[in-house]
Amino acid sequence: MSADPVGTTAAVRRHEPCPGGGCLPGAFAVQRTFAPERTPNELTGWTSLDTADLELAASETARVCTTIRVPRDAAAGERYGVIWAQTGTPTDRSHTMTMLGRVGVRMYIDVGPGGEPPSDFKIERLYSTRARDGRGEVRARIHNTGGRALDIGGALSVFDGPGGLRAGPFSAKTGTTLAPGDLAEAVVPLDARLPDGPWTAALTLKSGLVEHTSRATITFPTTPGSTGAVAASAARQGRFPTPVVAGLSALVLTALCLLLSKSLRRRR
């Protein structure tokens, strides 16, 4: 594993690569924070770097090699961490405050036998709101029901609106890596010029090969900060509804019976 810090200022800067731990079990998120300073965790204890200090000129790059040695007796499960590249200005008589700049890459490993754990999630709720700035929003509650962390993204389209209007796709902002068992909310800001509705909304979210779509008939509220009326029915992509499965099963069974009947007649 390697990382390439880049000097982005006009002066030579000293960069200090270092591993650090995530502050909570499970997720890296916009609304959550990493552990302060260089607080270690189990993963960072397994991690070593081939250098501790770099001096880079403007636009200069350097490669830092990272080695992760997992002990043989390590307990099964996911581990999270981050590798920082940090540069700072020390205090002196004219500067009483230390200014730090940091960039980093996340670390994720899963310890355990066999292949990777199954991945899956559910879109449990889809509803409309009116943001403080007056724009309509569609929000969805997401539940990670699988065994590994997920980076979820997707898009929303609205159609069958007033006068047959349609719009989108609009990007869904989840802002989080979702740990197993965790809940999060996807937010889709829409164009302020869209009428209140009603609309048919179709939200498709995806993480890797796992993809789900939820549809709802929504109406945006007129008051900022309030929730609109929703009639939703979530649908999971890639699976047929039960009536369709039952119908196909009946057709297959009928075809097999006809073939068996013809075969018996020929033998007679």
Examine the pLDDT at 162 and tell me if it is beyond 70. Answer: yes
CA separation for the pair 145, 138 (Å, rounded)? 22
CA separation for the pair 130, 212 (Å, rounded)? 25
CA separation for the pair 114, 34 (Å, rounded)? 30
* Three-state DSSP class for residue 194: coil
pLDDT tens digits for 241-252? Answer: 334 334 444 444
pLDDT tens digits for 219-230? Answer: 888 887 767 666
Structure tokens at 109: 């490993």
Cβ atoms of 47 and 68 closer than 8 Å: yes
3-state helix, strand, coil in the chain (%, to 5): 10, 45, 40
pLDDT score, position 205: 94
The structure's pTM equals 0.56
CB atoms within 10 A of CB 157: 16
Cβ atoms of 234 and 123 closer than 8 Å: yes
Domains (range + CATH), the chain: 2-111 (2.60.40), 121-235 (2.60.40.10)
pLDDT tens digits for 10-20? Answer: 444 455 555 65
| Average pLDDT value for residue range 138-157 | 90
CB atoms within 10 A of CB 43: 23
Structure tokens at 199: 């609309």
Q: How far is CA 223 from CA 133, 136, 228, in A?
A: 11, 10, 9
